[in-house]
């Protein structure tokens, strides 16, 4: 993990087209701005983990032939 120190209005660049800027610091919270192409998905980690878990559950669930037939009728 790379750890950097930044002040308000300072940025870091990731790759060629992602910029992360420190917008505000209040107590133990930091507000950041992310400038990235629309094709780059950006998620809070807890939401990303929920999406991954949901995808795993959906991929592992079994669909019976009968249920499949019902979908198309």
What is the overall mean pLDDT for the chain? Answer: 90
Spatial contact of 20 and 40, defined as CB atoms under 8 Å apart: no
pLDDT in tens, 11-29: 999 999 999 999 999 999 9
Which residues share a beta bridge with 24?
31
> Is residue 4 in some structural domain?
no
Mean pLDDT to the nearest integer, 38-65: 87
> Is residue 3 in some structural domain?
no
Q: 4 pLDDT exceeds 90?
A: yes
Helix locations, the chain, DSSP H: 45-60, 65-72
> Is residue 66 in some structural domain?
yes
> Is residue 15 in some structural domain?
yes
- Number of structural domains (the chain) is 1
pLDDT at residue number 64:
66
Segments forming the whole domain that contains residue 33: 11-72
> Is residue 5 in some structural domain?
no
Cα(51)–Cα(57) distance, rounded to whole angstroms? 10
Q: Between residues 72 and 40, which one has the greater pLDDT? A: 40
């Amino acid at each position: 993990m790379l750890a950097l120190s930044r002040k308000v209005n300072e940025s870091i660049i990731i790759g060629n087209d992602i910029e992360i800027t420190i917008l505000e610091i209040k107590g133990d919270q930091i507000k950041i701005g992310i400038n990235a192409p629309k094709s780059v998905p950006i998620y809070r980690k807890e939401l990303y983990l929920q999406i991954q878990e949901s995808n795993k559950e959906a991929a592992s669930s079994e669909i019976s032939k009968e249920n499949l037939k019902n979908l198309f009728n």
